[in-house]
C-alpha cells in the first residue's frame, strides 16, 4: 500500500509539472502568434506550428497520466 501511495504522489507531482510546462508553452507562443497574425511574419508562423505540435504532444501525455491516476483510484 505504501508503494502505491508513493507512486500516486510521484505521478501527481509529475502531472502538475507537465501542467506548468503547458502553461509556459502557451505563454511563450503568444509573441509568435502576434508576429504571425498581426505582422504577417512567416517565420513566426513556423514557430507557432511547431509550438502547437509540442502543445498537442504535451496535452496527450497529461491525458494519459490523468487517466492512469483515475484508473488507480477506481481499483
- Of 25, 11, 21, 24, the residue nearest 66 (C-alpha): 11
The pLDDT tens digits of the residues spanning 12-68 come to 787 788 889 999 999 999 999 999 999 999 999 999 999 999 999 999 998 998 898
Q: Does the reported pTM lie above 0.85?
A: no
Whether the predicted pLDDT of 6 surpasses 80: no
Q: Domain extents for the chain? A: 2-74
Nearest to residue 59, comparing CAs of 27, 15, 10, 7?
A: 15
Q: How far apart, in whole angstroms, are the C-alpha atoms of residue 42 and residue 52? A: 15
Give residue 75's pLDDT.
Answer: 65
Cα distances (Å, whole numbers) of residue 61 to 13, 22, 25, 28, 41: 14, 11, 14, 20, 31
CA distance 54 to 61: 11
Amino acid at each position: 500500500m505504501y508503494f502505491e501511495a508513493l507512486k500516486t504522489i510521484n505521478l501527481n507531482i509529475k502531472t502538475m509539472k507537465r501542467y506548468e510546462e503547458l502553461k509556459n508553452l502557451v505563454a511563450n507562443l503568444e509573441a509568435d502568434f502576434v508576429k504571425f497574425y498581426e505582422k504577417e511574419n512567416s517565420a513566426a508562423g513556423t514557430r507557432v506550428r511547431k509550438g502547437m505540435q509540442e502543445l498537442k504532444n504535451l496535452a496527450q501525455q497529461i491525458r494519459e497520466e490523468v487517466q492512469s491516476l483515475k484508473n488507480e483510484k477506481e481499483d
